[in-house]
Amino acid sequence: MESTFTTTTFEIDGYKVDRQLGVVRGIVVRSRSLFGTIGGMLHTLVGGNITLFTELCEKTRGEAFDMMVKHAEEIGANAVLGIRYDATELMSGVSEVLCYGTAVVVSRK
């Protein structure tokens, strides 16, 4: 799937939706390592961007996005519209990241 066919909007300029295939999602549940948690806590003493956590969040969101795109491709979509993210802390140090959207088949107008 082309990256231009994944969007937070509900349409793609120059294309029309031929079929809606339903909601697709990617879910990743991740825990922080003990070393990452300690490193992040030490970084809070200095202040600023906590790069350990930023990198972990980016990696987790990327994995959830890739899983969503794969799900869409498996059901025959060539685009995903209305993409959103949601995150939930399941327990201390364990978080779920959900990426979801509507799988569609689009064609040029």
Per-residue model confidence as pLDDT tens digits over 13-52: 999 999 999 999 999 998 765 555 555 555 555 666 667 6
Fold of 3-108: Translation Initiation Factor IF3 (3.30.110)
| Predicted TM-score of the model (pTM) | 0.81
Q: Which amino acid is at 7?
A: T
| Contact present, 8 and 64 (Cβ < 8 Å) | no
Tell me which residue of 11, 97, 37 sits closest to 62, measured CA to CA. Answer: 97
End-to-end CA distance of the chain: 18
Task: Kindly report, residue by residue over 51-88, the tens digit of the pLDDT.
Answer: 767 788 899 999 999 999 999 999 999 999 999 999 99
Count how many Cα atoms sit within 13 Å of the Cα of residue 28 in the half-sphere of its side chain: 19
